[in-house]
Amino acid sequence: MVTEQVSNLLTPIADYFAAKLAEHGAEPRGADWNGPESQNLRFQQLCKVIRVDAPFSINDLGCGYGALLDYLSARYPSFDYLGTDISVPMIEAARSEHWRCPNAAFHMAAEPHRVADYGIASGIFNIRLDNSDEAWFRYLCGTLNVLDRTSRLGFAFNCLTSYSDAEKKRPELYYAEPARLLDHCMRHYSRHVALLHDYGLYDFTVLVRKCP
């Protein structure tokens, strides 16, 4: 359940991404990514949480215009997808781009309304605007609780890394401490947690599996 405090925190974030979408359209820069190559590289890391031996269901939290659905459709033969986002323009763009996909639905919401096999969150923790580090970390952990509660087999998320070059850091972005999040996930969600920090970008990915 989304509290009023979280809703107030997220409203400027939704406005930020709506402006990016209006400026660039339904492409990576419209979701504040540099381009398709880095976007797909992030999806590749996140999808390592998926076991591909059977059809699966997946929740895409902060789905934007639905780029992850395109990535999945090109690689997995059978899955059921739900995308949720706090931005009305993003959901409208996602529905417009993917209205022919019978295995997909998009809802305007801060969290999924169903439990799926997997949960994915790509890029939703990067833009913190004028929120403090600790306030944003509390929001991040609350969102991880949502991913845990709505994922049967596991979930994955990414964050900008605190090991980014100091001169390139921007004050409106949140740079997470990898070890802190690894410890948090190990203590609260599963012993089967992987931290990926070796794919050449200024971020890292955490995979949380509910079983080995």
Could you read off the pLDDT of 96-125 as tens digits, one per residue? 999 999 999 999 999 999 999 999 999 999
Residue 136 and residue 128 in contact, taking contact as beta carbons nearer than 8 Å: yes
Cα separations (Å) of 98 from 102, 104, 152?
Answer: 9, 8, 26
Count: domains in the chain: 1
pLDDT for the residue 22: 83
For the question of whether the overall pTM of this predicted structure is more than 0.85, the answer is yes
CB contact set of 207 (below 8 Å; sequence gap of 6+): 46, 48, 49, 154, 156, 193, 194, 196
Q: Domain range for residue 36?
A: 4-209
Q: Which residue has the higher pLDDT, 90 or 163?
A: 163
The residue written with tokens 């781009």 in the block is 97
Could you read off the pLDDT of 59-81 as tens digits, one per residue? 999 999 999 999 999 999 999 99
Q: Which residue has the higher pLDDT, 2 or 99?
A: 99
Residue 115 is given by DSSP the state -
Question: What CATH number is given to the structural domain containing 158?
Answer: 3.40.50.150
How far is the C-alpha of 201 from the C-alpha of 179, rounded, in Å?
17
CB contact set of 46 (below 8 Å; sequence gap of 6+): 68, 120, 122, 156, 157, 158, 205, 207
Could you read off the pLDDT of 6-53 as tens digits, one per residue? 667 888 888 888 888 888 877 877 677 777 899 999 999 999 999 888
pLDDT for the residue 5: 61
pLDDT for the residue 53: 81
How far is the C-alpha of 154 from the C-alpha of 51, rounded, in Å?
10
pLDDT for the residue 3: 55
Mapped onto helix, strand or coil, the DSSP state of residue 82 is strand
pLDDT for the residue 124: 95
pLDDT for the residue 32: 72
Residue 90 and residue 22 in contact, taking contact as beta carbons nearer than 8 Å: no
Task: Report the pLDDT averaged over residues 183-211.
Answer: 97
**Whether the predicted pLDDT of 208 surpasses 90:** yes
Could you read off the pLDDT of 125-180 as tens digits, one per residue? 999 999 999 999 999 999 999 999 999 999 999 999 999 999 999 999 999 999 99
CB contact set of 57 (below 8 Å; sequence gap of 6+): 79, 80, 81, 82, 116, 117, 118
**Whether the predicted pLDDT of 2 surpasses 70:** no
